[in-house]
């Protein structure tokens, strides 16, 4: 067992997270991709697609209320690091209060600052980047900038995994990383597409 792993969310934690997520969606639906957090089945699919257990540096874009963050931490090795970047101030505050793990680096801001934040924390090129940010509702210029940044910082052989209701993320990422592997995770509300790219 990993001594640093955060405990899995309890049903009470998940219920509270669902309410927080709904409030976040109402506050800013363009920034929050769903009305409820990811299901445990989706979280485990993301961990597997990103091969988190093999990663030294993991990045999460849009951790929300932290369900996926906990799943990533549970799968990571004791010497790994997770940089989680959250734009929503209330979600960020909740993450600060709710997750205590020395491997977790929380940052409040835009995913557009990914390269700057990796440099600031002296982190090596990520082995895995997992993203739940809604490329379909963000301004196209922002989506293009984030896609270019992901492609730039990801190490060769590294994996970018995005879970999305719509397929717009492929329009922004494929020019950089080629065609993705696509899957559906049906045990989630709503069902989502899971896209995986491996940097050549």
Strands laid side by side in the 181-185 sheet: 104-108, 81-86, 57-61, 128-131, 159-164, 192-198, 181-185
List, in sequence order, every residue forming a beta bridge with 197; answer none if it has no partner: 160
Domain count, the chain: 1
Residue 27 lies in a domain: yes
Residue 2 lies in a domain: no
Residue 145 lies in a domain: yes
User: In this predicted structure, which of 5-14, 76-85, 88-97, 142-151 has the lowest mean pLDDT?
Assistant: 5-14
Residue 1 lies in a domain: no
- Which helix (H) or strand (E) covers residue 171, if one does? helix 168-177
Residue 127 lies in a domain: yes
Residue 4 lies in a domain: no
pLDDT per residue as tens digits for the range 160-188: 999 999 999 999 999 999 999 999 999 99
Among 159, 85, 156, smallest CA distance to 115 is for 85
Whether 92 and 86 have beta carbons less than 8 Å apart is answered as yes
Residue 171 lies in a domain: yes
Residue 5 lies in a domain: no
**CATH number assigned to the domain comprising residue 19:** 3.40.50.150
Residue 29 has pLDDT above 60, yes or no: no
Q: pTM (2 decimals)?
A: 0.85
Which pLDDT belongs to residue 148? 98
- Residue range(s) defining the domain that contains residue 175: 11-198
Which pLDDT belongs to residue 56? 98
């Amino acid at each position: 067992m990993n001594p640093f792993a955060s405990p899995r969310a309890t049903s009470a934690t998940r219920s509270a997270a669902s309410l927080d997520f709904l409030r976040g969606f109402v506050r800013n639906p363009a920034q929050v991709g769903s009305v409820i957090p990811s299901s445990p089945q989706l979280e485990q699919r993301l961990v597997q697609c990103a091969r988190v257990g093999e990663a030294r540096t993991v990045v999460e874009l849009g951790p929300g209320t932290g369900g996926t963050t906990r799943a990533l931490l549970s799968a990571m090795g004791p010497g790994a690091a997770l940089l989680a970047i959250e734009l929503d101030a209330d979600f960020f505050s909740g993450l600060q209060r709710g997750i205590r793990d020395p491997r977790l680096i929380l940052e409040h801001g835009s995913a557009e600052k990914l390269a700057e934040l990796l440099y600031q924390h002296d982190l090596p090129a990520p082995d895995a980047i997992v993203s739940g940010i809604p490329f379909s509702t963000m301004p196209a210029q922002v989506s293009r900038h984030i896609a270019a940044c992901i492609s730039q910082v990801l190490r060769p052989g590294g994996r970018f995994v995005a879970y999305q209701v719509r397929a717009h993320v492929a329009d922004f990422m494929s020019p950089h990383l080629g065609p993705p592997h696509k899957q559906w995770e049906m045990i989630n509300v709503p069902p989502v597409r899971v896209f995986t790219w491996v940097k050549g």
